[in-house]
Structures are given as C-alpha cells and as structure tokens.
Chain A
Amino acid sequence: ELKVEQNPLFLSMQEGKNYTIYCNYSTTSDRLYWYRQDPGKSLESLFVLLSNGAVKQEGRLMASLDTKARLSTLHITAAVHDLSATYFCAGGGTGTYKYIFGTGTRLKVLA
C-alpha cells in the first residue's frame, strides 16, 4: 500500500532564501504530483512528474522525481511572500486510480 510522507510539515523562511520540501513514498508509484493550496481555498495543480529524472520548473518553483530513491523534491528559489501556502505531494499507485496525498507542508515566507 502506497504511503506518502512530506517534510517538513511547517516551514518559515525569509524572503530571498532557498529551501526544499521533500516527499518520500513507500512503494512504486508511476507518477507524482505537486499541488498548492491557499488558506480556505481549493487545490491547484503545480506539477505532474511521470518518469525517473523528471524535472519541471515554473517561476521560483522546481520539482524533481527520483523513482529509485522514491523521492520527489520541490525546490523554492529566492522565496517571495506570494509563495506562502500549503504544498501537497501525491502519488498514484501503479495501475490504480487511487491517489495518496502527503500531509502537506505549510510554508510561510516572511518579509
């Protein structure tokens, strides 16, 4: 059974700094997703990673996938206040339609 763990759970960082959120998963997952959620809002898709070594970038966010290590990372470059949100990773079990979410990382970027 697929399990997904994120760390850290909370992250407070200064504007302009870099940081990485980690997402580990327990068994084979043929895809990995990252979502953003603002307080009181719904989830917005950020990245879909489909293969080992996949790297995707959007603005100050970059996501990567290492299927051998069962690890995905979300790297934040030169953080700005607008990036304050909760970030979720989710795995899709091979051959299933079930998506398993991590518990989320609450990011607060301080001015």
Chain B
Amino acid sequence: NAGVTQTPKFQVLKTGQSMTLQCAQDMNHEYMSWYRQDPGMGLRLIHYSVGAGITDQGEVPNGYNVSRSTTEDFPLRLLSAAPSQTSVYFCATRAGAPRRERDTQYFGPGTRLTVL
C-alpha cells in the first residue's frame, strides 16, 4: 500500500516549457487535490477533484490544468511554465464526503519545481 505517490521529485524547466506532475493513490479515495507551497504563504489550493470526471478550481488555478479520468490518478499540467510557478507542489487525497474521524487529508511527498 503505497498511499499517495508523486513524480518527479525534482524538476527544472525553462520559461515557456510545459510539463505534467503526476499524482497517484491506491487508497480508493474520491477526493484529490493539488497545492503549492511557497515560503511564508502556507499551502494554497490549486485544483481539486471529488471523483473521476469532476474537477474544480481552488485559490490559485491560473496557469494550471487538471483532469481526472480514473480514481487513482490526478495529474497537474503546467501549460507554459513561468518563474512565478517555482514552488513545491503537493498532492493530497481524502476519503469521499466528510465523515467523522476520517476527514483528514493524506499528502504525497511533494515535487520541487524550479522554472528558470
């Protein structure tokens, strides 16, 4: 049981390049989300999904696309990377609708992205 996995761990891009950050989970969780973490700003929600085929925007969605074709995978796409997207990206999952004592998010190990 791997939990939440993210690839790659590190990535360096040039401005204008595109790439996809991968997130996979084997806990059969319906809810998946992407956050970015910047110094002094905590974590900010980029996009989230409540199930296959259903996605919605978070606080900072601009410049990022997501899709959810399976329960297990929730990739994050950077269409045209910019230096402002240099950050650490975390994927998180949660079991479906809020349920007492189960309503916690499980975070992946993170991807450290640098855009030059």
Contacts and interface: CB of A to CB of B under 8 A. Distances in A.
Interface residues of A, number: 22
A103 B41 contact: yes
A42 B110 contact: yes
Nearest to A88: B42
A50 B103 contact: yes
B104 A45 contact: yes
A33 B92 CA distance: 14
B48 A101 contact: no
B53 interface: no
B74 interface: no
Contacts of A92: 98, 103
B101 A48 contact: yes
Interface in A29-83: 30-31, 33, 41-45, 48, 50
Contacts of B59: 98, 100
Nearest to B110: A42
A42 B4 CA distance: 11
**Cβ-closest 5 pairs across A and B:** A101-B42, A101-B43, A45-B104, A103-B42, A43-B107
21 contacts: A41-B109, A42-B107, A42-B108, A42-B110, A43-B43, A43-B107, A44-B107, A45-B104, A48-B103, A50-B100, A50-B103, A90-B43, A97-B50, A97-B56, A98-B45, A98-B58, A98-B59, A101-B35, A101-B42, A101-B44, A103-B40
